[in-house]
Structure 1
Amino acid sequence: MTDRIAVLIDADNTSHRYAADLLAELAKFGRPTVKRAYGDWRSDSLKGWAAKLNQHAISPEQTMAYTVGKNSTDSALIIDAMDLLYSGNVDAFAIVSSDSDFTRLATRLRESGKTVYAVGRSNTPQALQEACDRFIRLELLDSAPEDIAVPAAPEGAASADAPALPNLQSLLTRGVNNASDDDGWVSLATFGNYLRTTYPAFDPRSYGFAKLLDLVQAQPFLTTEGSGNAVRVSVKGRTTTAPAKKVAAAKKAASKKPAAKKDPKK
């Protein structure tokens, strides 16, 4: 059954020009059944969202800024998320924001057994990235323009610099070693799941590759075998003979063994 995803967008913190792309990306993981955007819609900075709300059937949630320099978007989004959690009508949540204030919300939803996706800019604080099952960088979405005017983030919402990407060789080598069987091989699917579990922000596109297989095959320190859904990965030099060949040889040898003779007295 396809997961039902609640998509909760911090419009004060996210450009409207990403609307189509982020929804298309989230559709890879399930069916967005709840789509809400939060902001003070009286603000001129949110005018660009008007057409996107209708186009993508996103419900606008008005959050009044009661104090100058502050907004109530965070509180409204958190309250709605908890209401949805206890309603039991969704299986996963997508928090679209670069604001670290949602870190505790993400961990609380996961504690209740829900899958949590976060969608934000590259400079989203590491705490929020790690608090989710998967972090998706807005800048990596295919059709998103590179010259987007990003709404000003609330004070302290994101660090000035994007968290550094982990060393690729170290990340992939450690991943193969930890996820592989005793023979040193791991299926590509299992390998991908392990990487995203240990590093929620992992995405081949961060390193210039569209798919994990393309990334793996481009690394001189890794080797692959098989095709389609049967691709396996190993650290080069760690295995001598592909396990599949050993299994085939063993089956062939077994088929040549003579059948056991029957005892004529029985």
Structure 2
Amino acid sequence: MTYIKEVYTIKREQLEELTRFFHREIYSIHIQDGAQLIGRWVSEEGNKVTVIWKYKDNEHEQRIKAMLEEETLDDFYLKCERERLTSTEPFPSAYHSAKHGMAVSGYITNEKGEVLLVRNVHRSDTMEMPGGVVEEGETLEEAIHREVLEETGVTIRLNGITGIYQNVTRGVTCVVFRGDYQSGDLTPAEDETAEIAFTALTKANIAQWITREQFRSRALDAMNSNYLPYEAFRVRPYELLSRYEVKQEV
């Protein structure tokens, strides 16, 4: 993630006009393209406005910057100072209490039919399917590609969704994809993945590998390959990003 802090020195009498322009033009362009406004503040004297934006990466930041070239704030400020920030927390979302979280997990098989399993550092008592939290602005599909690559070092091809699982206690819903190994060498993520392996997973031996019941049920459902429909889309205007149809494999 990329964080940018902007500090505008303004004339106090222009604050109200600047705020209207900001929400009508600047904010709307950012949000429609998936950026997040962390916050916007004005100094006690009313002559400085501070804005902090969150972007997916530097490329995302530059794309929005190009979109804003015609929507300049030059008429409203006397000086602008821009600074790139880095979060001190490996998982910045840990500072914020979300109403509900979304996660993804992947039942990934190789050409031998073996299943990709990982042992996470913070859950060392069990193997499990790779996955993690969906970041803001990501589709579920983008998230599972990223998580599998980050945790295991491999790229995958997705076939569809096999189940949806809700942890009511922790407020997290996990969507499980099934897919195939495409390329890459098994490489553990530093400080996250303790072990990675393609395993000859079966209904008979699954409890030996996946010891936690909630993770085991997801893998068992994925073995049956009964797929659910899935769509990812944007609005204003409507744009279909991807879709998986319902299908069953025998």
Relative to total residues, which structure has the larger helix share, 1 or 2? Answer: 1
Relative to total residues, which structure has the larger strand share, 1 or 2? Answer: 2
Q: Which has the higher contact order (CA 8 A, sep 6+)?
A: 2
Asked which structure has the greater CA Rg, the reply is 1
TM-score with structure 2 length normalisation?
0.24
